[in-house]
């Protein structure tokens, strides 16, 4: 039997930083190379560009729960 020592490091309650990203809603089926591999985006999905330029598709219901549209991008 392996006994582990109790973690004595300090623990914190933290809040995730708010980050502005760019997104657009696609009107066609697309295949996007993401950090996790190639992903399919269906019409109506959002394509989000992250802070490091990475792109990934987000289903509309998930987008509505996790993102807020602030303004139109030029």
Segment holding 48, helix H or strand E: strand 46-49
pTM attached to this predicted model: 0.76
Closest CA to 56 of 19, 11, 26: 26
Task: Name the DSSP letter for residue 16.
Answer: P
- Give dist(CA 39, CA 43) in Å, integer: 13
Per-domain boundaries in the chain: 22-66
* Chain segment 10-60, per-residue pLDDT in tens: 999 999 888 999 999 999 999 999 999 999 999 999 999 999 999 999 999
Closest CA to 57 of 69, 49, 67: 49
């Amino acid at each position: 039997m392996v006994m582990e020592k109790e973690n004595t490091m300090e623990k914190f309650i933290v809040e995730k930083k708010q980050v502005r990203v760019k997104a657009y809603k696609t009107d066609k089926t697309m295949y996007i190379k993401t950090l996790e591999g190639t992903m399919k985006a269906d019409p109506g999905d959002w394509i989000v560009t992250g802070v490091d330029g990475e792109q990934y598709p987000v289903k509309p219901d998930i987008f509505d729960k996790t993102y807020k549209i602030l303004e139109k991008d030029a």
